[in-house]
Chains A and B, each alone.
Chain A
Amino acid sequence: MQQFLLKLTTRRGWVQFWAAVISNSYVTQRITKGLPCPSLNCYACPTAAFACPIGSTQYFIGRHKVPLYVLGVISLIGIVIGRASCGWFCPFGWFQEWVHKLPVPKLRLPNRYNWTRYIVLVVLVGIVPFLTGEPWFSKLCPAGAVEAAIPVALLYPDIQAQIGLLFWLKMAILIGFLAWMAVTLRPFCRWVCPLGALWSPFNAISAFRLEVNLANCSGCNQCQAVCPVDIRVFEEPNSGACIRCLACVRACPRQTITVATLKAAEAPLSQPNRALP
């Protein structure tokens, strides 16, 4: 499995491309739109094949119902693969990686304040929809602006007539994020994404995980250098911020970081995971 995954990491862009295509494949809409997408993909996109898990969660909370089905699907994905969906399947994560390729000065930011995504989750996905009955995160979401608001406004002239303050607020948020994406890799995933926040705690207990053999680690810090979310992988391989892109596994010159399953991690010869939520 290790060799296969290492080979797959060289083609992660293609996996992300096909995930974006399948998530927005239109033809399966009638059957699959009752299924939460395993990533942040706007339901309102004219070609969206799945329901947005965060949009669906807000829908139920706004109607004062427990989103059992949606949270069950999110939990099942998280407990099996952790945040791997963020690194491999999320169209907006892929979009951010492309914007980051723009030739502008880059800024690496520490993970010190990345708990802000939990505030977004609680306030914009929980409390505000509960009180107002409206999906306020979706109304402001920059992924929704890229995948739905702009295409819908361009495609349907009757919708253009309805463009108002909310649309321009959404565009302003998008422009702010575009500028941030250009200088910092995946800022939305790290500081804002509520779906990432829901999946983060699962990294510590998910079946798919990373393992570090500290006895073999030279401390070269290559893993952190290539990490898109700036984790010190040798210290916290199963950090809640990790999107499981496996760039560190490929970059490690001594093969210190390996992919493991929860059962394999129990083997007595392997180093214990230092799992941090």
Chain B
Amino acid sequence: MNRPKLRLVVNRVIIGLAILAILAGLVIFSQWGSVWLNATLL
């Protein structure tokens, strides 16, 4: 497989994995409401 084609395949695989990670984070682990950060700045 030549390099541009390999890049394209890697790109598509990562898009798929990223979408799966978002769905898993949201649906299975309910992470939406947990992205708050307790700001301890001072």
Contact = CB atoms under 8 A, between A and B. Distances in A.
Interface of A: 33-36, 42-44, 51-52, 55-56, 58-60, 65, 67-73, 75-76, 79-80, 134-135, 138-139, 144-145, 148-149, 152-153, 159, 162-164, 166-167, 170, 202, 204-207, 262-263, 265-266, 272-273, 275
Q: Which size class do B's interface residues fall under? A: 20 to 34
Contacts, number: 124
Contacts of A263: 8
B3 to A, nearest CB: 7
B37 A52 contact: yes
Interface of B: 3-5, 7-8, 10-11, 14-15, 17-26, 29, 31-42
A260 B32 CA distance: 34
Contacts of B14: 75, 79, 202, 205
Contacts of A266: 4-5, 8
A190 to B, nearest CB: 24
B7 A72 contact: no
Q: Do most interface residues of chain B lie in helix, strand or loop, or is the interface mixed?
A: helix
The list of the 5 closest CB pairs from A to B, nearest first, reads: A69-B25, A44-B39, A72-B21, A68-B25, A72-B22
A28 to B, nearest CB: 15
